[in-house]
């Protein structure tokens, strides 16, 4: 029986005793490459086998205990480092991009609000928020700089706002410039996600659109994980709180998580949403698996989805009668939960 | 300030009536994760925070920890190396194989390995001991702290391949990674039962205790392989 170790190939007899061996070259870099290969192509390991350290000493690979430690440590650090550098894959890059997008959204909103409050002291009549406001402040600074032919000239010259000092104007302009550049970065990232999702997960994009596809991937952790999820999980990714409330107490199960952002669910009447969410989730699973294992665009998934959606719409045109309350959108769960606890105390 | 040795290489410092767990720093001057360094009588100690380390919590819960200065330890679920660094402190003459699955945390662990001479990093899945059997020798102690639903099984297969007959298994079972909704007590009972009888090697549980208040819903456990006495 043969057993390959990090330092060489061992020939073992039936009792697991060392019969013969051939040693590898004692070069740490080469040994590290071999160690990673051995880890990826898992060998069958005999339970009865000699202790690695003893075998290395007996075969003369190393002479001293300490040499074994030093060399093995060197090899393993090199191996782990090379494994880490291999983990930068297309989907991991997209996931970073999606997360950067969320961070930018959060920060840009906060900064825009601050700009709105701050600049509002000097030009309260200005009816702008968000990117428009930032672009305006970045272009003109003080309202005194608005030119005569600008549509806001009248408003700005009659404003009740305070006079702005030079120092404050510079500060506000700098803030506005930063906000503008964040908006620009956001657009770059969006474009990046749209183009690279098309090549990483063509089917997923076809079903859900690039941004939702990227978001699903980011929440699952990778395309591989998303492909491995059952579609019932895909259906409720992003609805963690509602899901655990459902599992812990009597709250109703969530019908949809992040996939709610897809227009086919969002724009559907409430009584069709659950059915549509299930169908969509099942097609997302199919698409993710096709993307991960073949990578070819498969238009039949989208066609099947459309057909099924049409079927759902035509068979459920009217709201069901039995349910008296139409807004059973997860909030019902909260009520049931509270009601139950109160009932217990009485 | 007074210093009391709890086990070999593990100390209890008493500073102004406040007790703290510590290990003797084998790399003086270097703090690993922002822990306090305390010098007494020319010896530098690193504070060991039991609420960040399952092993630290087990020590304060009076577990018999079988790690000796010359032990060889297989550490499953090494994460970024908080506890591994203390194990490395204890093993002045030993070695710890640190297995971690996540490349993200392995990045930090590698930096620790480069500082310390007695940690061997392995980026692998503890579910597949065959994938690192070409690296790991027979070990005296397996310490396992993995957040996986099949924690008992992982402990069993790793023991089968690597644990010395006289060796011991230290296990931290996290009930929430098995089932978030069931009661932790039931889960612990079930996991102990699995260890004792479900696998092709059987374990004898020597000690078990919950790790609260340091870690909620965790069970600490020391076991050894059940060997037939002829």
B76 touches chain A (CB under 8 A): no
Residue A45 to residue B123, Cβ atoms within 8 A: no
Residue A42 to residue B137, Cβ atoms within 8 A: no
Contact indicator for A294, A243 with CB cutoff of 8 Å? no
The pLDDT value recorded for residue A343 is: 40
**Distance, in angstroms, between A68 CA and closest chain B CA?**
11
Per-residue confidence at A333, pLDDT binned at 50, 70, 90?
Answer: very low
Contact indicator for B157, B132 with CB cutoff of 8 Å? no
Q: What is the 3-state secondary structure (H, E, C) of A36-99?
A: HHHHHCCCCCCCCCCCHHHHHHHCCCCCCHHHHHHHHHHHHHHHHHHHHHCCCCHHHHHHHHHH
**How many other β-carbons are positioned within 10 Å of the β-carbon of residue A334?**
13
Q: Which residues of A touch B106 (CB under 8 A)?
A: 80, 83-84
Question: Which position has the token pair 């997302």?
Answer: A284
Which residues pair with residue A100 across a beta bridge?
Answer: none
The pLDDT value recorded for residue A57 is: 94
The number of CA neighbours under 13 Å toward the Cβ of A95 is 17
Mean pLDDT confidence for B174-199: 92
- Position A323 pLDDT exceeds 80: no
pLDDT tens digit string along A5-55?
Answer: 999 999 998 888 899 999 999 999 999 999 999 999 999 998 889 999 999
The pLDDT value recorded for residue B225 is: 87
Tell me which of A65-69, A90-94, A339-343 is least confident: A339-343
The pLDDT value recorded for residue B7 is: 86
How many residues are present in chain B? Answer: 230
pLDDT tens digit string along A174-184?
Answer: 999 999 999 99
**Distance, in angstroms, between A79 CA and closest chain B CA?**
8
Mean pLDDT confidence for A96-108: 94
Q: Please name which of B211, B175, B219 lies closest in space to residue B60, comparing C-alpha atoms.
A: B211
Q: How far is CA A148 from the centre of its chain?
A: 48
The pLDDT value recorded for residue A324 is: 62
Contact indicator for B198, B159 with CB cutoff of 8 Å? no
- Region of A77 on the Ramachandran plot (φ > 0 left; ψ -120 to 50 alpha; else beta): alpha
Residue B123 to residue A84, Cβ atoms within 8 A: yes
**Distance, in angstroms, between B26 CA and closest chain A CA?**
17
Residue B110 to residue A6, Cβ atoms within 8 A: no
Per-residue confidence at A78, pLDDT binned at 50, 70, 90?
Answer: very high
Mean pLDDT confidence for B89-106: 95
Q: Please name which of B192, B194, B218 lies closest in space to residue B206, comparing C-alpha atoms.
A: B192
Question: Which position has the token pair 């305006």?
Answer: A136
**Distance (Å) of CA A248 to CA A258, B181, B198:** 21, 6, 29
DSSP 8-state secondary structure symbol assigned to residue B177 = G
Separation CA B56–CA B54 (nearest Å): 5
What pTM does this model have?
Answer: 0.79
Contact indicator for A110, A130 with CB cutoff of 8 Å? no
- Render A147-187 in DSSP notation, one character per residue: -TTSTTHHHHHT--PPPPPHHHHHHHHHHHHHHHHHHHHHH
Identity of the residue in A3, A6, A80 whose CB atom sits nearest the CB atom of B121: A80
Q: How far is CA A252 from the centre of its chain?
A: 26
Burial of A190 (0-12, 13-18, 19+ CB in 10 A): middle
Phi, psi (degrees; rounded to nearest 5) at A134: -60, -40
Q: Please name which of A314, A306, A298, A254 lies closest in space to residue A280, comparing C-alpha atoms.
A: A306
Is the ipTM beyond the 0.85 threshold?
A: yes
B69 touches chain A (CB under 8 A): no
Question: Which position has the token pair 């930090």?
Answer: B108
Q: How big is the A-B interface in CB pairs under 8 Å?
A: 77
**Distance, in angstroms, between A72 CA and closest chain B CA?**
7
The pLDDT value recorded for residue A346 is: 35
The pLDDT value recorded for residue A341 is: 45
Identity of the residue in B110, B137, B160 whose CB atom sits nearest the CB atom of A80: B110
Which chain B residue shows the shortest CA-CA distance from A54?
A: B137
Higher pLDDT, A346 or B197: B197
Residue A39 to residue B131, Cβ atoms within 8 A: yes
Separation CA A276–CA A284 (nearest Å): 12
């Amino acid at each position: 029986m043969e057993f390959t170790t990090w330092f060489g190939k061992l020939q073992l007899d039936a009792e697991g005793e060392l019969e013969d061996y051939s040693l590898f070259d004692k070069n740490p870099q080469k040994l590290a490459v071999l160690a990673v290969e051995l880890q990826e192509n898992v060998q069958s390991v005999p339970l009865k086998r000699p202790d690695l350290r003893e075998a290395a000493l007996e075969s003369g690979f190393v002479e001293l205990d300490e040499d074994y430690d030093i060399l093995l440590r060197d090899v393993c650090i090199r191996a782990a480092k090379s494994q880490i550098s291999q983990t930068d894959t297309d989907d991991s890059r997209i996931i970073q991009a999606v997360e950067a997008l969320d961070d930018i959204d959060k920060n840009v909103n906060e900064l825009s609000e601050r700009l709105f409050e701050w600049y509002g002291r000097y030009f309260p009549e200005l009816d702008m928020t968000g990117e428009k406001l930032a672009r305006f402040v970045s272009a003109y600074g003080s309202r005194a700089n608005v030119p005569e032919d600008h549509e806001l000239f009248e408003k700005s010259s009659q404003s009740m706002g305070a006079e702005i000092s030079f120092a404050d104007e510079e500060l506000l302009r700098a803030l506005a410039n930063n906000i503008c550049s964040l908006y620009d970065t956001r657009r770059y990232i969006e474009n990046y996600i749209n183009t690279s999702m098309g090549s990483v997960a063509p089917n997923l994009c076809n079903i859900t659109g690039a941004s939702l596809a990227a978001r699903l991937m980011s929440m699952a952790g990778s395309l591989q994980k998303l492909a491995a999820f059952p579609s019932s999980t895909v259906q409720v990714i992003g609805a963690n709180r509602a899901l655990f409330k459902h599992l812990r107490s009597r709250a109703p199960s969530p019908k949809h998580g992040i996939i709610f952002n897809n227009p086919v669910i969002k724009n559907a009447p409430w009584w069709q949403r659950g059915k549509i969410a299930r169908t969509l989730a099942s097609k997302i699973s199919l698409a993710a698996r096709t993307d991960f294992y073949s990578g070819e665009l498969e238009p039949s998934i989208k066609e099947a989805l459309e057909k099924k959606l049409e079927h759902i719409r035509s068979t459920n045109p009217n709201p069901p009668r039995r349910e008296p309350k139409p807004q059973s959108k997860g909030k019902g769960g909260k009520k049931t939960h509270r009601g139950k606890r109160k009932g217990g105390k009485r | 300030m007074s210093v009391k040795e709890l086990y070999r290489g593990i100390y209890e410092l008493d500073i102004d009536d406040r007790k703290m767990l510590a290990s003797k720093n084998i790399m003086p001057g270097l703090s690993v994760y922002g822990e306090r360094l305390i010098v007494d009588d020319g010896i530098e100690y690193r504070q060991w925070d039991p609420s960040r380390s399952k092993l630290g919590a087990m020590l304060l819960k009076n577990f018999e920890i079988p790690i000796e200065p010359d032990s060889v330890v297989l550490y499953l679920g090494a994460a970024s190396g908080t506890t591994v660094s203390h194990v490395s402190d204890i093993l002045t003459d030993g070695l710890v194989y640190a297995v971690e699955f996540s490349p993200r945390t392995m990045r930090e662990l590698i930096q620790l390995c480069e500082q310390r001479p007695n940690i061997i990093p392995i980026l692998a899945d503890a579910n597949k001991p065959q994938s690192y059997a070409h690296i790991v020798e027979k070990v005296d102690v397996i310490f396992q702290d993995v957040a996986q639903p099949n924690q008992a099984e992982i402990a069993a297969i790793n023991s089968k391949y690597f644990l010395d007959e006289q060796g011991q298994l230290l296990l931290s079972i996290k009930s929430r990674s098995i089932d978030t909704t069931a009661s932790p007590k039931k889960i612990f009972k079930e996991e102990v039962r699995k260890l004792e009888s479900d696998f092709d090697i059987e374990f004898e549980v020597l000690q078990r205790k919950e790790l609260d208040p340091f870690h909620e819903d965790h069970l600490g456990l020391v076991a050894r392989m059940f060997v037939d006495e002829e």
